[in-house]
């Protein structure tokens, strides 16, 4: 995973800084110990290799033995992994490892609920850029583990013309024209629309993907009919588990859900030290 060690090293430095005072005082010297990671609720596992890497950055001699792979559906009481090594390093890595693992499992678990909710429709669940700063690569990976699909990674790898771009360019047609002249032929252009009139403008301008932003179900159905397969249709804005099925049934191709990453609850996982 690109940039993983940089993320983990920064997290460890933030937590340990000049030293783990409690462990230095209470657990002096080298002491071998074992530990387990235990799920305390049902979840989709994501990030087990990330958790392992945290401990190995602290001490390559730590043995981290996972019992499950990412994508596994865990039940409360399941043991995710067994660890063996210097007690001090196990204690120092505990919080960073759990913070990331719990967060990634939360994203994967929530994503899986959305994917299940639209099963049998043509709609695909995708994420957004509403991620935790610095953790985007981890959270977008967790979305994939949960069965979702990644939207653009950042501002650099996709064109999404939103309302402020349209205002700055002087209209949808001009914004699309400028984007088409600037990007390579291999890149697609997406346009955010809020009305059926704007849908028509985006279609006439040659948009490859048309986003229906905060439209009601009737407007979505009409937009899908108007577009008629000439562009991919994305629904966005105010999507919840209560509404996502009805949105999918309008015939849209993509449903983007910011909640996958900005509102996912961290799953409950604990590390229990053994060997004393």
CATH homologous superfamily for 4-114+264-274?
Quinolinate phosphoribosyl transferase, N-terminal domain (3.90.1170.20)
Specify the domain boundaries for CATH 3.90.1170.20 within the chain. Answer: 4-114+264-274
**pLDDT averaged over the chain?**
97
> Per-residue pLDDT for 28 more than 90?
no
Cα–Cα distance for residue pair 153/82, rounded to 1 Å: 33
**What is the predicted pLDDT for the residue at 169?**
97
pLDDT of 230 > 70? The answer is yes
Concerning whether 216 is annotated as a catalytic residue, the answer is no
- Lowest-confidence region among 16-30, 87-101, 102-116: 16-30
pLDDT at 164 (0 to 100): 97
Is residue 162 annotated as a catalytic residue, yes or no? yes
How many angstroms separate the first and last alpha carbons of the chain? 36
pLDDT band of 29, cuts 50, 70, 90: confident
Residue by residue, DSSP assigns 131-167 as --TT-HHHHHHHHHHTT-B---SSTTS-EEE-HHHHH
pLDDT greater than 60 at residue 276: no
Cα separation of 237 and 257, whole Å? 7
- Active-site option among 86, 94, 190, 213: 213
Place of tokens 């959270």: 139
Mean pLDDT across 181-204: 97
Residues of the chain with CATH 3.20.20.70: 120-262
Query: What is the token pair recorded at 275?
Result: 């060997």
Rounded to an integer, the average pLDDT of 177-184 is 97
Tell me, yes or no, if 95 is annotated catalytic.
yes
140 given a catalytic annotation: no
| CB 132 within 8 Å of CB 99 | no
What is the per-residue pLDDT for 275? Answer: 54
User: Which pLDDT score is estimated for 24?
Assistant: 92
The CB density around residue 6, as the number of other CB atoms within 10 Å, is 11
Catalytic residue among 38, 129, 130, 177: 130
Q: What percent of the chain has pLDDT over 90?
A: 97
CA distances from 137 to 3, 43, 114, 202 (A): 8, 20, 20, 31
Fold exhibited by the domain 120-262 = TIM Barrel (3.20.20)
Per-residue pLDDT reduced to its tens digit, 154-165: 999 999 999 999
- The answer to whether residue 230 is catalytic is no
Q: Return the pLDDT at 191.
A: 98
**CA angle (193 as vertex; 125, 134 as ends), nearest 5:** 50
254-256 sheet: strands from edge to edge: 124-126, 254-256, 232-236, 209-213, 189-193, 159-161
Q: Is the pLDDT of residue 138 over 80?
A: yes
Give me the catalytic one of 192, 198, 201, 234: 192
Query: CA-CA distances (angstroms) from residue 24 to 62, 218, 273?
Result: 18, 63, 17
- Of 38, 95, 144, 188, the catalytic one is 95
């Amino acid at each position: 995973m690109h940039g993983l060690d940089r993320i983990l090293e920064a997290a460890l430095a933030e937590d340990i800084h000049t030293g783990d005072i409690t462990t230095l005082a209470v657990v002096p010297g080298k002491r071998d110990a074992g530990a387990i990671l235990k799920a305390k609720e049902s979840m989709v596992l994501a990030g087990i290799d990330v958790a392992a890497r945290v401990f190995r950055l602290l001490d390559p001699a730590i043995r981290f033995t996972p019992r499950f792979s990412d994508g596994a559906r865990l039940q409360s009481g399941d043991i995710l992994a067994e660890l063996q090594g210097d007690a001090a390093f196990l204690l120092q890595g505990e919080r960073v490892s759990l913070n990331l693992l719990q967060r990634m499992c939360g994203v994967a678990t929530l994503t899986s609920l959305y994917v299940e909710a639209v099963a049998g429709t043509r709609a695909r669940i995708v994420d957004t850029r509403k991620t935790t700063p610095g953790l985007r690569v981890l959270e977008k990976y967790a979305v994939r583990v949960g069965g979702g699909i990644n939207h653009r990674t950042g501002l650099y790898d996709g064109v999404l013309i939103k309302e402020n771009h349209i205002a700055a360019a002087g209209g949808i047609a001009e914004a699309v024209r400028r984007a088409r002249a600037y990007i390579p032929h291999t890149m697609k252009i997406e346009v955010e629309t809020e009305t059926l009139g704007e849908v028509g403008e985006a279609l006439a301008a040659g948009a490859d993907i048309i986003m229906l932003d905060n439209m009601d179900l009737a407007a979505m159905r009409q937009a899908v009919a108007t577009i008629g397969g000439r562009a991919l249709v994305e629904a966005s804005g105010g999507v919840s588990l209560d509404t996502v099925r009805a949105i999918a049934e309008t015939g849209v191709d993509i449903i983007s859900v910011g909640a996958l990453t900005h509102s996912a609850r961290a799953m409950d996982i604990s590390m229990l030290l053994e060997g004393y």
